[in-house]
Homo-oligomer: A and B are copies of this chain.
Amino acid sequence: MNYRTVTVKENILIENNEKAAQLRKNLQEKGIFFINVMASPGSGKTTLLVELINRLKDKYNIGVMEADIDGDVDAERIEKLTGVRSIQIHTSGACHLTAQMVEDAVKEFNIDGLNLLILENVGNLVCPAEFDTGSHLNMMLLSVPEGHDKPLKYPLMFQISQITVITKIDTLPIFHFDTNLCKEYIHRRNPNAEIYEVSALKKQGLDELINAIEKRINL
């Protein structure tokens, strides 16, 4: 990457950080807690969100924003399986959402009356880590089939996520995944990271994760 490219990128990131800080403040003033969920493609984001939303929807007014390069399957799936309102955001080819894109979506979505807003970011361990979305909580998922070495390779994502969820733990018997080593790698990137182990399919570990999320909502 040449010097010109890096400079342009830095300017974009500075602008984005300012926009994100403003959005975070605005949402907080409206009593809306905003969670940004990030992970690789196919790590189980949508499946986990369905389980979490179904356990939280009686207590909170929830809205979901589903970001994807293309396709509408996730927003439809969330609405069908949880009944909560959901919109699909297309990134026009981009590998992440900017705070501006979130703000535009929030305006279109009409968030009055919501108190919990959840964004499922583009499936990607790199770019979404660089772009602050204005969220109050960054939660990332790492699925067992991806391997325990990922915190070494995608450091920024693990560094900026207050909560890391190890997903698909029901598949631990068939993959070479060292949970303790993975936790050690995560804590190298972020000593304060809270780590939860879940299987959305087998409904394991969901209560602990929900407690952790609610503790942050109520802060």
Chain A interface residues toward B at CB < 8 A? 1-2, 5, 8, 12, 40-43, 68-71, 73, 91-95, 98, 100-101, 122-127, 130, 143, 145-147, 149-150, 152-156, 168, 171, 174
Contact = CB atoms under 8 A, between A and B. Distances in A.
A41 B150 contact: yes
A126 B42 contact: no
Contacts of A1: 91-92, 94, 98, 100-101
Protomer copies: 2
A80 to B, nearest CB: 15
A153 B75 CA distance: 12
Contacts of A95: 95, 124, 126-127
30 contacts: A1-B91, A1-B92, A1-B98, A1-B101, A5-B12, A8-B8, A40-B42, A41-B125, A41-B153, A41-B154, A42-B145, A42-B146, A69-B154, A70-B154, A71-B152, A73-B149, A93-B126, A93-B156, A94-B126, A95-B95, A95-B127, A122-B126, A123-B153, A123-B154, A127-B127, A145-B145, A145-B146, A145-B168, A145-B171, A171-B174
Contacts of A146: 40-43, 145
Contacts of A69: 126, 153-156
